[in-house]
Amino acid sequence: MKLATTLLTGTLILGGLGAGAYAMTDKQPLQSVSANSTTISEEQAKEIALEQTNGGNITKMSVDTDDRTKKYEFDIVNGEFEYDVDIDFNSGKVVEFDQERLDSDDDRDDGISIEEAKLSLEEAKKLALKEQTGTIVETELDRDDNQLRYEIEIHTDDNHEVNVDIDAMNGNVLNVEWDD
């Protein structure tokens, strides 16, 4: 009888512990974890930004955090206007939209045009990542010393910053610079 009582008590305790553990794991906030990890891709953000400007040419793209909000930032030239469009990293909502008429002081009159580039931004990013693996956080099309180039900022997995310049005409790596 004493053995039966001990076994029954042990079974109840183990069953209670198992049920408690199950109840605790069952109540984990799985939805909030998946909701927080949902982000839109760079390609989706680009589509949203270009939709806002009725097309155009992206001359700069970066990922930034302002007021604890992570966002994609795009500079787009379309016709006689330059646009700054910021897209929320998680929701895809447009969080900032600025439009400015281009004038003689703007880059466009310095001859910077994405149409001139024989290499697409996507191709330049692939070449830069072959040079240095990591996460691209900023890209910019720029003319430097009469040479059209993509300036690509990469954050490495070991928390370093590398700037890779790619010739926008032929895809040659022009410069690789490590920041301290």
Determine the Cα–Cα distance for residues 162 and 63; give it in Å rounded to an integer. Answer: 15
- Give per-residue pLDDT as tens, 38-74: 789 888 999 999 999 999 888 888 888 877 888 999 9
- Give per-residue pLDDT as tens, 104-157: 555 443 445 666 778 888 899 999 999 999 999 888 888 888 888 999 999 998
- 116-180 — its CATH code? 3.10.450.40
pTM: 0.58
Q: How far is CA 146 from CA 58, 98, 110, 142, in A?
A: 20, 29, 10, 10
- 39-110 — its CATH code? 3.10.450.40
pLDDT of residue 61: 84
Q: Residue 162: pLDDT above 90?
A: yes
32 confidence band (pLDDT: 50, 70, 90): very low
pLDDT of residue 104: 53
Contact 151/139 with Cβ under 8 angstroms?
A: yes
56: left (phi over 0), alpha (psi -120 to 50) or beta: left
Determine the Cα–Cα distance for residues 102 and 87; give it in Å rounded to an integer. Answer: 22
